[in-house]
Amino acid sequence: MLVCMRTTINLPDALGEAAKAKAAAEGRTFTSLVEEGLRAVLGKTDEDAAPKPLPTFGDRTTRFLVDPADREAFAAALDADGLR
């Protein structure tokens, strides 16, 4: 599950417009451009910010529970239980 912070930043008009134009020219979002800039300043990489995998649980001697990140397995488990 990706958790994001929503915030407001105040930028000079020219800087905001230049950033939006650069993002559009590169076919990306303004948010991704700002995120890349913050990572560069803070010395963080995308790998540092990657979300940790969701835990999975189960007992090897009985039925395993499904990893919710695996959509196909999740849907199959729902179909098997007749809940879908």
- pLDDT tens digits along 16-33: 999 999 999 999 999 999
pLDDT at residue number 13: 95
Mark out the alpha helices in the chain (DSSP H runs): 13-25, 30-42, 46-49, 71-80
pLDDT at residue number 84: 42
pLDDT at residue number 37: 92
All residue ranges of the chain with pLDDT < 70 are 1-3, 45-51, 54-65, 81-84
Domain ranges of the chain: 13-49, 52-84
Contact status, residue 19 vs residue 32, Cβ threshold 8 Å: no
pLDDT at residue number 79: 77
Whole-Å CA distances, 6 to 3, 9, 31: 10, 10, 11
